[in-house]
Amino acid sequence: MMSEDNKIDVNDINYAIYRLGNWKNNYEINQIGLSKEIPVTEPTITHIKFSMDEIRKSQFDISNKTVNGFVAIAFQINPKIQQMDLDDVIKMEEKEFNNILDELDNLELLDEDSTIDLDDENYLVYKLEKECHMTISIPANEHTKKYYEEEMKRIDDAVLN
């Protein structure tokens, strides 16, 4: 069981905090936009932007073209994307990337001087930990762990079917 004083600062860079919701735009390529997790803190947005930059910096060769990680992942797992012309997929990724940046920059955030209870079921809370050169997100409470496991199963089912 967790201690009584189980609050975390909203501006703690060691945590990513989200609420469940929907993005304004529709996304097919950008994995962040495919999630129902909407960031509610500045450190979470910074973490997401860093992650997106890392994925976009990765380079892969598909059909004699060099593409970024988002395009490569979408091309591997999304049958609809596989049917599209690669140049169209590249343009679509660019548009989605700019849309998600715009959405991230215009989200309503929690007051940066506030705290939340780690067990608050209104939020999904992940502890961010460095592993080699990557930052991994570990569910920080039971509510987030349950959501995360259900989400992984949903993604597996979507990819496998």
Instruction: Give per-residue pLDDT as tens, 16-44.
Output: 999 999 999 999 898 888 889 999 999 99
Output the pLDDT for position 4: 47
Domain residue spans of the chain:
7-140
Tell me the average pLDDT of the chain. Answer: 90
Output the pLDDT for position 1: 42
Can you say whether residue 141 is alpha, beta or left, with left for phi > 0 and alpha for psi between -120 and 50 degrees? beta
Q: Is the dihedral of CA 146, 152, 155, 161 positive or negative?
A: negative
Q: Is the pLDDT of residue 73 over 60?
A: yes
Helix (H) or strand (E) holding 7: strand 7-9
Q: Alpha carbon 143 to chain centroid distance? A: 18
User: How far is it, in rounded angstroms, from Cα 122 to Cα 75?
Assistant: 34
Half-sphere exposure of 72 (CA within 13 A, CB side): 14
Output the pLDDT for position 32: 87
Output the pLDDT for position 2: 45
Q: Is the pLDDT of residue 161 over 80?
A: no
Contact 41, 17 (CB under 8 A): yes
- The mean per-residue pLDDT over the stretch 71-76 comes to 92
Q: Is the pLDDT of residue 3 over 70?
A: no
Residues 6 or more apart whose CB falls under 8 angstroms from that of 130 comprise 136
Total count of residues recorded for the chain: 161
pLDDT band at 160 (very low <50, low <70, confident <90, very high): low
Instruction: Give per-residue pLDDT as tens, 86-132.
Output: 999 999 999 999 999 999 999 999 999 999 999 899 999 999 988 88
Contact 22, 36 (CB under 8 A): yes
The more confidently predicted of residues 130 and 53 is 53
Q: The whole model's pTM is what?
A: 0.87
